[in-house]
Structure 1
């Protein structure tokens, strides 16, 4: 006897999206064209170098100075964005005030604004003749064309990561545990430390890692305010561009590959930490 599946059952088993084979194949195709193909070109260029040549390029004093400036400024920008992003997300989620929607929209402005425009704006503001520059110069503080200007530009371009990764988690938190803790005599700081922050910690780590990786590769916003002085305010991205202008493609590839490897390592470690924190929370720890 032939069994005929009811029409309603057949419709229920159908997926809105196309089949797994088609969706997976399309996804892998785009990943290969957009991500893997450019990276493979970089790794092919790196493959032309021997380890001795690679080590000579990376340990060049000018290259080491550029790495030191880039990593230290990116680290400072990451710490600021992680803390400030957590605070800003908290304010947007937990409070109602005039201009809240405008503030929420302004957070994404660094994503929409071309980085070169951001760099020009920062120079116009913090230059010696700029409004903030003149004000700070009275106190002997100089931002433009210094290491602090680099950190400021990196902070500006990566601040959305510190907010947008934490904000959705805060919006999904239930207030029941917080109210229960407060009824038992817990202070606001204890509630935040033991209830709120452990739940947002995985997203906090991911936001910080994304901000750091973004800052490592920043170019447009930095070069206008950095001053670009070798051994002082020259970043790795600019040094890559200089080596390309000199047609020194192996050196450019070596520096770019090192920056890429560092960013990838940070993201991998962040994913491991995020997964461990999520498992710890799921076990009720």
Structure 2
């Protein structure tokens, strides 16, 4: 009886600790952001989010995040396919390097892009001779976003490819279907939930990127100033309400994305 009571108390204490952790580190900060953004009323909140610089920063962030997400959707799907379906020397090393953006500080990633593609680099100098620039312009921001979100699609697609029943693929070939038709009608539908969920997570992550982008963006208002850097500037200018209002836009969009991801995964699990 005593052991049972101890087990119940231990289980209750464990659950309480987890809930306390969740409330203190996640729920309270989210409530704080929403409270801060609306503490002066709806009018100041609306003025903050309709400020031309804020609005342009948010729109630019969304546009570049979409481009980075589409790039990762294509690259991630192909890389995930190659790493699962093919055997070649160095495959394990490449597979382990996929997670490097998760382990590497994002500021280091931005510095790498700056050194490799900056004006003083070979690639940057060649691009300058051809009449366009990479660093301190939109291409550098997209590259930084692609770098930090690189693993999402790959890691979402790989388990689906591993779990795929190869008998369906073989049956398609037996019935005379071509490789392309088999891929799009048999393989791709099985990969699609992973592609979509990984892409949406990558998009949500790209929206909030700061460390890698701030070093390569140029931060020109209305041109290369993205939302996270704009928020940082507002905090430095002691405009916490304006920073919170812009943060609420990104946070709400991220909530919607996570809800859609959860819906996709729930439907997949229910099949």
Q: TM-score when scaled to structure 1?
A: 0.88
Match of 1:223 in 2: 214
Does 2:56 match 1:68? no
Match of 1:232 in 2: 223
User: What secondary structure is seen at the aligned counterpart in 2 of 1:35?
Assistant: helix
Does 2:164 match 1:173? yes
Compute the displacement of 1:50 (Å): 1.4
Q: Flag the structure with larger Rg.
A: 1
Alignment of 1:42-121 (within 5 A): 42-121=33-112
Does 2:183 match 1:183? no
Compute the displacement of 1:37 (Å): 2.1
CA contact (8 A) 2:38 2:45 kept: no
Greater shift, 118-127 or 191-200, is seen at 191-200
Does 2:249 match 1:242? no
User: Structure 1, residues 99-157: CA drift from partner, whole Å, max 9, x if none?
Assistant: 10111111111111111111111011111211221233333232111111111110110
CA contact (8 A) 2:110 2:144 kept: yes
RMSD, aligned CA? 1.9
Match of 1:265 in 2: 256
Match of 2:116 in 1: 125
Equivalent residue pairs, number: 265
For residues 83 and 200 of structure 1, the distance between their equivalents in structure 2, rounded to whole angstroms, comes to 12
CA contact (8 A) 1:67 1:236 kept: yes
For residues 57 and 237 of structure 1, the distance between their equivalents in structure 2, rounded to whole angstroms, comes to 15
For residues 105 and 270 of structure 1, the distance between their equivalents in structure 2, rounded to whole angstroms, comes to 25
User: What secondary structure is seen at the aligned counterpart in 2 of 1:226?
Assistant: coil
Q: TM-score when scaled to structure 2?
A: 0.92
Residue ranges of structure 2 left out of the alignment (5+ in a row) = 1-6
For residues 73 and 276 of structure 1, the distance between their equivalents in structure 2, rounded to whole angstroms, comes to 29
Match of 1:138 in 2: 129
Match of 1:213 in 2: 204
For residues 152 and 18 of structure 1, the distance between their equivalents in structure 2, rounded to whole angstroms, comes to 51
Distance 1:124 1:188, change over 3 A: same
User: Structure 1, residues 150-200: CA drift from partner, whole Å, max 9, x if none?
Assistant: 111101100110111111111111211101100111111111111111112
Compute the displacement of 1:19 (Å): 7.2
Distance 1:198 1:23, change over 3 A: farther
Greater shift, 127-136 or 235-244, is seen at 127-136
Residue ranges of structure 1 left out of the alignment (5+ in a row) = 1-15
